[in-house]
Structures are given as C-alpha cells and as structure tokens.
C-alpha cells in the first residue's frame, strides 16, 4: 500500500531548510528510510545551490543596471 505524500514547493532557502528538517526528523523517528532521506537531502541541497546562484545572478544584474555595466577596479598599492 502506497502512502500519498503532499507535494512540496521548494522555492526558496526557507522552504528547503524546513524540508531538510522534516527529512531529518522522519529518518530519526524511523518513518523514512535513511537511504531515501539521504537522497532527498542531496536533491534538496542541489535545489538550494540553484536558488543561491539565481539570487546572485539577480543581484549582479541589478548592480550592472545601477552602474550602467561599468566596473571600476581599485588598487591598494
């Protein structure tokens, strides 16, 4: 008999963190196999990394707009 799980929306770091905590709790209490928990945690870490990269790209784009794409290099000699 298969248990239907609610679909997770992992769209930001907070939702990923909560999901990772849920995975850890379920592995700890025995309701989730450690192998499955590890796979889910690994996939979630990839999602977190892609969210981080997306946020950095957005910040860079905004900075480029503010500076009209000009970047100054400062030397500390």
Per residue in 31-60, pLDDT tens?
999 999 999 999 999 999 999 999 999 999
Task: Give the confidence band of 77 by pLDDT, cuts at 50, 70, 90.
Answer: low
* Domain ranges across the chain: 13-66
Measuring CA to CA, which residue among 8, 13, 9, 7 is closest to residue 50?
13
- Asked whether 43 and 34 are in contact (CB, 8 A), the reply is no
Task: Give the confidence band of 1 by pLDDT, cuts at 50, 70, 90.
Answer: very low
Kindly report whether the global pTM for this prediction surpasses the value 0.85: no
- What percentage of the chain has pLDDT greater than the value 90? 71
């Amino acid at each position: 008999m298969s248990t239907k799980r609610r679909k997770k929306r992992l769209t930001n770091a907070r939702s990923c963190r909560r999901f990772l905590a849920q995975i850890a709790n379920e592995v700890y209490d025995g309701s989730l196999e450690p192998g499955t928990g590890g796979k889910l945690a690994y996939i979630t870490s990839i999602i977190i990394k892609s969210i981080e990269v997306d946020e950095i790209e957005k910040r860079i784009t905004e900075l480029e707009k503010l500076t009209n794409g000009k970047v100054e290099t400062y030397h500390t000699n």
